[in-house]
Structure formats: structure tokens, C-alpha cells
Amino acid sequence: MDINLTKAEAEHLKAVLTKISQEIEEKGGWIPFSRYMEIALYQPNLGYYTSALEKFGRFGDFITAPEISPFFGQTIVNTILPVLDKLRIYG
């Protein structure tokens, strides 16, 4: 698989991998998966959610309907409430 990274993305990836490698070395050769994910996602300035790189949009992840507005949730509620009302009446 060919991944085209920008210079900033490549540098960021290298920094994240370096941090994970250092952590593994400091901890005697292994770290729990939970720690790996914590670094990859939340490490200050390096983690997926804490870095300055674009997360959403044309070059990032897609955004799902529930993240944009409450309309999806309201549609589900409007569909389920009548069913629940009928269950209360007949149940």
C-alpha cells in the first residue's frame, strides 16, 4: 500500500514512532496495548487527537452525521418513541 504523506505528516509520524519506541525501551522491551493507544491518540502534541494536523475534512477522516448535528439522533428518537408508547399500552 502506497501512502502519500506530506512532509509535516511524515515528520509527525516519525516523532510518534520515536516516542513509542523510547517508551518501549524504557519499560524493558514492551508496553501494554492500552499505553500504546494512549500515546498514539492522546500524547500531548503528538497524539492523533492532540496534534495540530488536520483531523477532519478533505484530507482527514470523514465526519458522520451525528457529529454534525442532532438531526440523526432526533430521527431515531422520533422513530422509537411511538413504538415504546405502543409497548406501554399493550405491555
Residues 6+ apart with CB under 8 A from 39: 16, 19, 20, 23, 46, 47
Write down the pLDDT at residue 56: 66
CB 45 within 8 Å of CB 51: yes
Q: How confident is the model at residue 91 (pLDDT cuts 50, 70, 90)?
A: low
Task: Give a yes or no: residue 74 inside a domain.
Answer: yes
45, 2: one domain: yes
Amino acid symbol at 89: I
33, 74: one domain: no
36, 77: one domain: no
Task: Give a yes or no: residue 15 inside a domain.
Answer: yes
Distance in Å from the first CA to the final CA of the chain: 55
Write down the pLDDT at residue 6: 83
3, 33: one domain: yes
Convert the pLDDT of each residue in 30-85 to its tens digit.
999 999 999 999 999 998 888 877 666 666 666 776 667 788 888 889 999 999 98
Q: Is the pLDDT of residue 1 over 60?
A: no
Query: Closest Cα partner for 47 from 16, 71, 26, 11?
Result: 16
Write down the pLDDT at residue 26: 97
68, 49: one domain: no
pTM: 0.60
